[in-house]
Structure 1
């Protein structure tokens, strides 16, 4: 009898263990993946009133999720404001983040990055009829420039162009509205972010000059998860090779009038 009992309990344990094992194998099992992105950046990560998501970062995230086994209906989107990104990853509130997330040495001490999937740089947005501002040097002519308070772009302007009248607002949306109304002369942040605003209102704004910094956008994930990082890198490479990367750019940012850049190769180091 004891041996029969052992066999019965063994069978029961196996019956319980199998479904548990299956539920952790990927999107087809009914699980969801939680992805952090911006909810307020047109052309990159934007949530509509009906809850739908759009933007280049969103399309990149969707592609990666699908490659990991999670189709659209298995994705849970979570807002990832810039100041909260590391905490969201470290606390396990997201599986990964795609949110104009620049790879820096300081951030790499807290989280890991796959990618980069895009290289951009700080640039300038002006009104479409402005012929005076042609690049950052033009700002020295007592021009009013808007950037976000406490941001890297704002600090760079302070450090490199002390002759500029810098106005610091809380959000880039406020800066763009002030530009449209004539309260300021230009807005400065990463070119791809400016492209999103320009594409949202075709013919109203334009991007001028060449980028005057380099920002390498990566996919943020928990530090030490080399397996997930490698899978995401593979997905980025596939997206670039099959044309989906360029299509995502054209669909979301093509209206800004700047051509799709050459997609970078993941670092894998």
Structure 2
């Protein structure tokens, strides 16, 4: 049985290896096109290895038998994000190829809604796929915030770091891990982060315009996270109050049972023999 499970997992693991190979090919094309420096190459290689290692481990733990078409779309987006990451790292050493960076980012953002639709139409929605999609989105926002911060200042990093700060806070306050209700507003705000950062990074607007766009994105993100945290806190508080009330009621019932003698049935009062 163990051999069958291992054999069934091979095609899934092979897809992650193919993804890593495509990532390396993209890095080679970018390096040839722009003469990418050591920082870009090193960052791109680290991203490729980390993507392969983390995704392979996640697939092994989830025991998926097939990778699925939706995950292939997300993997393609992750490969594009790896290219964007390498270009942003390279921009610390030389002038960034803005057109190429914007093009890769735009395609990655456009494909953001495709994997979810593919998963629903093919009936291949999984918890791993949803988490994979979310992590790719979060990392792209982080990379874009780093790029824009080089022009507008380090405060822009708050946009990319906010989701990771939330995850870290959830380790301290477990009530933050509770599931949130679906929200169109939350999805819209999340999608706008990439669009606003891409617009600022493309440098199509004057600096004041870029500043306004990024401030708007940050304000919406703070509002969205604040609303969700408040909802989680109220829900946890209400659950704690209900649990406390149930505990108090049970304690009161036990005390009453100790004070009031239990009625003895007629048969129990009859002497034996």
TM-score with structure 2 length normalisation? 0.28
The structure carrying a bigger strand percent of its residues is: 1
Considering Cα pairs closer than 8 Å and 6+ residues apart, tell me whether 1 or 2 has the greater RCO: 1
With structure 1 as the length reference, what TM-score do the two structures score?
0.28
